[in-house]
Amino acid sequence: MADKRVIAVDLGAESGRVMVVRFDGQCLDQTEIHRFPNTSATIQGTIYWDVLRLWNEITQGIEAAKDGAASVGVDTWGVDFAFLDRQGKLLANPVHYRDSRTDGMLDWVFERVPRRTVFERTGIQFMALNTLYQLASLAASNSPLLEMADTYLTFPDLLHYWLSGSKACEFTHVTTSQIYNPRAGNWDFETLREIGVPTGMFPEIVPPGTRRGEYQGIPVISPASHDTASAVVAVPTTTANYAYLSSGTWSLLGLELDHPVIDDASYAANVTNEGGVNGTYRFLKNVVGLWLVQQSRAMWRSEGTEYSYDDLTRIAVDAEPFRSFIDPDDMLFNLPGDMPGRIREFCRTTGQPIPETHGQIVRTVYESLALKYRYALDNLLRLSGKTVDRLHIIGGGARNALLCQMTADSIGRDVIAGPYEATALGNGIMQLIALGEIGSVAEARAILSRSVEPVHYTPKHTDAWNEAFERFRAYVTTD
C-alpha cells in the first residue's frame, strides 16, 4: 500500500509541535515539521494563553506539512476553554489553568453542591485548576462573559473550530473538566445550573475519530484531543497487565479500564476517571511532574546559570540519595515562581535536611516523583483490583534515564520507556483509524511494538527504596 500521512498538532504546556505521522502498512513513524514554545502572558494579574500566536504557529506548521496529508487533528492539555459570541468570534483569550482566579472556588462550589455529590456525578479528581472551578470563578464574580457567551469550546476544539468551522467538543477532553457526567453520558448540566452557569452554550460531544470538516481541502479529524488520551493510544503494549505513566509537565499515572470507578474508596483517594477511546476510561492520578524541574531551571536561568535537562540529570546523579523528600502535589508548588525556594521551605517546615545545592534540589524532586508514583500506583491497584507487571512510561519524561530507573526501583516492577512523542503518535493513530488505514487501537499497538525500540529498566536496590518509601509517606500531604 502507499504511505498514508496525517498531520498531528500536539500542544503541551511548555511547547507545541506539528508532526507528520506516517503509516506504510507495516510500521508507524513520525517526523517533526515545526516546533515552537508555548508561553503564557500575564496582564493585570491574569495569566492568559497566547492563543493567537499558537494559531499562527500551527498554521505555519500545517502549511509546511500539508503535501500529501490525508487529514489533520489537534490535541492539547486538559481543562482550559474558550467562549465564542453569537457570530462565532472569540470573546477573550483563554485563561491559563494556573491562574489564581480559582483560589477558594472549591469551597464556593461545595457550598452549593456537596463535594461527594460532585464526585458522584463526575468521577473526577478534585483539583483547583479543573474547568468546574474556572467556570465557578466567573459565576462568583458575575462575569459578563457568561452572559455574552454563545458557545463553549474546549481549547483543542477552539482550534478545530478555526480549522473546520465545527462547533463541537470531543469526548476525551470534555471528561477532564469535572463538568461531564459519565453516567448520563453528557455535560453535568445539574451542577452547572446549581452554580449559576448558563447551560445553553455547551455543544454536542463527539467521540474521537469524528470528521469535523476541512481546512484548505484537508479533512479535519478529532483525535483523542486530550493529550494524555492520545498518549495512551500509543502505549506499545501487547498485554493487558500494564500501567502507564504519561510523563511531561504533568505526570499522569493510570490504568486502562472498561468502566469508571466511582465509589466511596475512589472518592477518598481523590483519583480520577477520564474518558479514553472506544468507551474506555483512564483510571488515573494526576501528579505534578517535571513542572518542578522546569520552574527550577527557569529560576536558575534568571539568576545567570543555564542548564540543559541533561545537565540537571548529571548534577542529580552526583547528589546524596534519599536526603530529603517533598510531596510534589503540595499546594506550595502549584504556581510559577521560585521553585527551589519552595522546595527548601517544604523541607524546612517538615524538619528535613534543607537541599542547598542545585544537584540536591533536582535529586529531591526526582526521588520524590518516583516515590509518589509508587504511592499513586499502589492506590490505583487497590481500588481497581487490577494487577500489573510493568509500567510503560511515555512522553518526554521517558527520555530521562535517571527518573525512569528510579521509578522502576521505587515501584519494584519493570519500566518500559518510549515512545517519547507518544501524544503525537496517538493523535495520528486515531486519524488513521478514522480513515480506515488501521483497524483498531489493539492493532495499532501491535504495529507500534514492532515500530519502536523502547528502553527497558529493571528494579534495583529495592530494599533501599522500600525503606525510603516508608519515610516518604510521612511527608505526603495530598492523596
CB 416 within 8 A of CB 328: no
Phi and psi, residue 56, nearest 5°? -60, -45
Catalytic residue chosen out of the listed positions 10, 99, 227, 327: 227
Q: Which residues pair with 209 in a beta bridge?
A: none
Q: Burial letters for 216-236: b for 16+ Cβ neighbours within 10 Å, e otherwise?
A: eebbbbbbbbbbbbbbbbbbb
DSSP secondary structure, 122-140, as one string: H-----TTSHHHHHHHHHH
* 463 belongs to the catalytic site: no
Q: Which residues of 430-466 are buried (b: 16+ CB within 10 A; e: fewer)?
A: bbbbbbebbeebeebbebbeebbebeebebeeeeebe
In angstroms, the CA 81 to CA 225 distance is 13
Q: How far apart are CA 429 and CA 223, in angstroms?
A: 8
Three-state secondary-structure class, residue 39: coil
Helix (H, G, I), strand (E, B) or coil at 279: helix
Dist. CA 118–CA 397, nearest whole Å: 32
Helices then strands, counting H and E runs in the chain, come out as: 18, 21
Q: Which sign does the torsion angle of CA 165, 171, 176, 177 carry?
A: positive
Kindly list the catalytic residues. 227
